[in-house]
Amino acid sequence: MSSEVHKAHGAEKAVEGDEDFEPKIIVFCCNWCSYAGADLAGVSRLQMPPHFRVIRVMCSARVDPEFVLRAIQKGADGVLVAGCHPADCHYIGGNYRTRRRVALLKMLLQQFGYDPDRLRLEWISAGEGEKFQKTMIEFTDTVKELGPSPMRGGD
């Protein structure tokens, strides 16, 4: 009887543990669009999960594939790269380069047994505070569903 109670308690704890899982998400925002969008979401007091850290870069193309892999290596559960909409890049074609790199990175992640959904690319303009909020909520939910990163002992 007591073992059953212990088992039930253990199962409950596991479920609790899953619910308590607080993902670590790194968000790379380009200075001209996405960072301003994130700022707008902030000043508009839009509610967002508190599990992400924003890193401002001058252009989404500044996000070297190495940055993403290093973040994963250090235990990030998800990485979001946010840039200007296609054809809106302040540096003309930076976001096209980013798109290529992210596609390659997704393929590499999949090859070494890491869910490619942990990496996401999104176009967010300076006026899209709500889109930033929506993206962050969706991405946090996705990462929560995926669970902790394999580098942190997850599957």
CB of 59: closest distance to another protein in angstroms?
Answer: 15
CB of 86: closest distance to another protein in angstroms?
Answer: 14
Is 8 a residue that touches another protein (CB under 8 A)?
no
Of 11, 15, 100, 141, the one binding another protein (CB under 8 A) is 100
What single-letter amino acid sits at 53?
R
CB of 35: closest distance to another protein in angstroms?
Answer: 24
CA distance 131 to 135: 6
Residue 26 backbone phi and psi in degrees, to 5: -105, 130
Strands 78-83 and 25-30: parallel
Of 17, 107, 138, 141, the one binding another protein (CB under 8 A) is 107
Q: What is the largest CA-CA distance in the chain?
A: 69
CA distance 115 to 122: 17
What are the residues binding another protein (CB under 8 A)?
64-66, 69-70, 72-73, 97, 100-101, 103-105, 107-109, 111-113, 150-151
